[in-house]
Structure 1
């Protein structure tokens, strides 16, 4: 900002004394300013609203509304609040000066005044006024740039999350296929190896635990490094859980053949293409794989599974991926019932299927758990959103499920839930896919 731009400013002089008006207007006009004049407050307000000036020199003692009231009205209007006002008055009391400044004036010049002083103050407050306007404009531009940058970053984050969901989906299906293929071809060798070595593993483990216990008895105060390692590895938990783990392996080895056969059916490696399948077979196989989580435990009774199967035709789908959706939804239902085991409500999962119209089926999976608030329900399909503790949930299962249903099968996946009333997931997919989608799902979130 330069002096020339300041001198081209518009100044309104308000004074009921014609002599003062003439002197000030001539002096400021000769200094290069565009000058407007008014002899009372009412006419001054009219001029301001008609052609807002850059600065106002305002007398206090005037007929009609005085300068104080005129200033109050200017400062109460958003259109004129930012125009700087300098009082010019013969009232020299401190009380009058404080009053003028308190109602919004930027300065106070006492009459009789020196022309050079008036010019200096006018230029100072014009400069401050223009700098303030420039700062406000810069703030607006900065806020706009921040909003634009934030929007770009949010879009980049959303794109990254979608890409991660796709990668996780591909990796899960690839890993599952490799696992089933390997176990299916080498079933006899692993089973023999496990059965032949579990007895020795139990014996060796117990020997190691006995030695460890002896060390703890003889050296009850280990060094800091050993103590930190014990805490990091949760030694007490390992000692308690390791025998249980080996026992579970013993039980699991006896069921390997049955589970592998079911897992082959669940993953449907040989049916990766879109083809008609029995939906109920996929649900039943998934429930069988989850049997260990459904059966009674010391902390809760067995979860009741209620099936209301409708008369469904074969459905054209990617059966392996659709079975993964069943796995995610049923696992979440089991998690909800386990979290709600102290409420006294019966643990029940209800699976219902039915035909909707000529070319659509509906699959409902509901539980009698604690339900969820709307703030949670509205986000559950978002990638990486989870209500589970750190290390237990990744926030990917439902996002992947939504992608499989909506993008791969042209269907819909909806969650219905209220606190204390359980949760229901309702899936709808076409019986026949009229439009063949690509093998790589495009992820969307609800």
Structure 2
């Protein structure tokens, strides 16, 4: 017998080996070879005892003699493999039968290896360690597979939960959009009537020289107009969020639209003592886009500039930038610059977020919902362009709209 050749110091834990042999000398010889290597050795003199010990102690590996009276090694191995509690224990046969059929029968019974007698301690130890390593790896793989299955089940549950949450959010959003659409209709009708009657009262009061009543009627009309604007903004945003906002593309004279917008904004310019400068080439030409949304975006930007600027300058610059000659595309740029209060980096980071400005001190001081900029940017993006901003506190801001000159191709892609 050879001396110690395999160190067990690095093993994860002492392995338990069940030695089954009807000859006591063989059992003792194997125990004397294994115990110095750190193995815990259990002994069984026959097959029946081996089955009981295997169930009670669940060894890590079994060294099983083939030729035993009453219950031979093949039958013991078959019974071990039929029982779920012992099925995974590796079995190594030890036998004096070296014939091929004997080895084949051993593997058919469920053994993982076969050692011939007379055995050498070095061979037994090496094969034992090899199959213990394989067994450990197999168990580790099984644990990993179970962990992966558990993680996969958790992931599937999380996906299902998120899908359910998304569907619930979609239903809530649809309900909100339907509610806003219904409420906007219910509110628009009386507001339109209020605006109409207030204008009649203004006309009558002016005709009869009743100045105070005319001013009251003007305030009523202006308040109703403001409220109608807020309702329209909420409805526009709900349509955008629900994906129901439609583009109505048409080719129109851009210069005429610029003239209309600057005329409409003049009262707001004068209100805070500002000056409006417009730089637009007379031959700016045509634009194919949603004219209403272009007009609304420009009006929002100019009215914002008027609101946050006092006795300053507001400038609207319009230019057509040449694009790639091969694509024959060009870009229209609208830049609205003011000398107003400007914005901090923190304000800029949330500027285009819907509802983000509702509680800010600036909004409370100057009025409005802050939805106009979010809506304007969405409009620009729907038409294949964008709305960006640069600003510095105390020095003013510049809002820049870029649109493809042929917005129909970009918007419908």
Q: So what's the TM-score if we normalise by structure 2?
A: 0.47
The structure with more radius of gyration: 2
